[in-house]
Amino acid sequence: MLQTEQTLFEQMRITELEIDFRKSLFSFTLADVRALQSFKPVIEENIDKIVDDFYGLQTSVSEIALLIGDSDTLARLRTAQRRYVLDLFNGVYDLEYVNNRLRIGLVHKRIGVEPKLYLSAVHTLKELIYAEINNSVADDLQNERIRVAIDKLVLFDVTLVFDTYIRSLVSEIENAKDKAERYAQSMESKVKERTQQLEELSQTDPLTGLLNVRHLQEIGTRILRAAQRRAEPVSVIYLDVDDFKSFNDTQGHRSGDEVLCAVAQAIKESTRVEDHSFRYGGDEFCIIMPNCREDQARDNFIERFNQNIKLHLNNISLSYGIVDTGPYDYDDANTLIHKADQKMYSYKRAAKLQQQGTVSMAANDIKSDMPQSASQVGTPQAAITPTIVHSIQQPQGINKVAE
């Protein structure tokens, strides 16, 4: 519920029962009420003098004079103070009385009266009232009764004023906290949104520095169109690390990342400037090679890659599939990648079967992509260090091809 939909009582949870409880805390009894009422005529008679003296003393403190600010405000304050003092001796200390006291607290907080200034004003007022009591009440016992009663009632008032001060401070803190939380939330979603935009804009995969797969379709199409215009072949190589999951599981994700970076590094070292190398996702890579046939890609790229990766890795094997298109009919980028992936997958599967000594018909079916011997099929091993000897799954019939 909004604060403005609640009365001060409701906000402060003050009921008649609470008022009685507070009175009992200060032992404020009917006798006190009577003592105060008995002094009302004297106060009424001297109210102007009390208020004059009070503001004379108050405005002599430069900090208070500064807070009051101008003569109109001072005039309003004098009227309010008059009422405040008279109410002290009215004998009625009910919800209405409490509401007025709560308002005083609220106004003091709003205009920035510090508690020390408020308390000093209470002290000044009490001294002025005590002076009136001493001037007018000769009977010591009655004098004492009125002083004690006014003391209790002023304390009762002070607690109410301080409660509003504290409540108002707590609301300010809660508001500031809400604001800060809302700001943090909006910043978080802005950062998320911006990061996503940057990622999309980014041409490169953050881990390996190879091209980002998001651009594969666009770049692939561009290369194929250019190749078509020049009637040149285009090759696509699909590379995949073998059993990378178990490597990750045994060596940890960070070592896995190092393997991916090493593979990417070897790809960069093995490609020509006109080639485009992508991290396809996870442990899969894709290279688009313009003006290159399948056999040329195998003999050139794979040869170089095999040499380069040995410098970085130990005991890791990769599988690949190569397809080409053109120079007469051209597949589109998606089809080419899909075919290369399928080839790689069939080859990997066959190699695994061969490794297990259970080469099936399916494996024989893709003989042209089979390794020359099972010994050429790399076997990932446990306890692999970041320096990993590589072995790539090699199909048969490797020819050296001039570029």
Ligand X SMILES: Nc1nc2c(ncn2[C@@H]2O[C@H](COP(=O)(O)OP(=O)(O)OP(=O)(O)O)[C@@H](O)[C@H]2O)c(=O)[nH]1
What's the order of all strands across the beta sheet hosting 211-212?
Answer: 211-212, 276-281, 284-290, 234-241, 313-325, 388-392
Cα–Cα distances (Å) from 336 to 22, 101, 220, 237, 323, in that order, read 85, 83, 9, 9, 7
CB of 253 to ligand X, least distance (A): 4
Q: Which of 157, 242, 324, 341 binds ligand X (CB under 6 A)?
A: 242
- Give the range of 4-12, 69-77, 85-93, 254-262 binding ligand X by CB under 6 A: 254-262
> Is residue 243 near ligand X by the rule CB under 6 A?
yes
Q: Which of 212, 248, 296, 300 binds ligand X (CB under 6 A)?
A: 248
Q: Tell me which residues in 329-388 interact with ligand X (CB under 6 A).
A: 348
- Give the range of 19-27, 70-78, 242-250, 306-314 binding ligand X by CB under 6 A: 242-250
Residue nearest to ligand X (CB): 256
- Give 153 or 239: the residue with its C-beta nearer to ligand X: 239
> Is residue 41 near ligand X by the rule CB under 6 A?
no
Binding-site string for ligand X from residue 283 to residue 322, where x marks contact by CB under 6 A and - marks none = x---------------------------------------
Q: Do 165 and 87 form a contact (C-beta atoms < 8 A)?
A: no
Q: Which of 256, 290, 371, 395 binds ligand X (CB under 6 A)?
A: 256
- Give 15 or 246: the residue with its C-beta nearer to ligand X: 246
Q: Name the one residue in this structure whose structure tokens are 């978080």.
A: 188
CB atoms within 10 A of CB 101: 22
The footprint of ligand X on this chain (CB under 6 A) covers a number of residues equal to 15
> Is residue 240 near ligand X by the rule CB under 6 A?
yes
Q: Residue 220 is encoded by which pair of tokens?
A: 């692939």
Q: Tell me which residues in 200-239 interact with ligand X (CB under 6 A).
A: 207
Residue 208 burial (C-beta neighbours within 10 Å; 0-12, 13-18, 19+): buried
Q: Do 336 and 323 form a contact (C-beta atoms < 8 A)?
A: yes
CB of 10 to ligand X, least distance (A): 57
| 3-class DSSP state of 386 | coil
Q: Which of 241, 288, 333, 337 binds ligand X (CB under 6 A)?
A: 241
Q: Which of 149, 150, 260, 266 binds ligand X (CB under 6 A)?
A: 260
Sign of the CA dihedral with 80 first, then 86, 89, and 93 last = negative
Looking only at Cα atoms, what is the longest distance across the chain?
127
Q: Do 386 and 263 form a contact (C-beta atoms < 8 A)?
A: no
- Give 13 or 254: the residue with its C-beta nearer to ligand X: 254
Distance between CA atoms of residues 34 and 47, nearest Å: 19
CB of 338 to ligand X, least distance (A): 16
Q: Which of 41, 209, 282, 397 binds ligand X (CB under 6 A)?
A: 282
Distance between CA atoms of residues 395 and 96, nearest Å: 96
Q: Which residues are near ligand X by CB under 6 A?
A: 207, 240-245, 248, 253, 256-257, 260, 282-283, 348
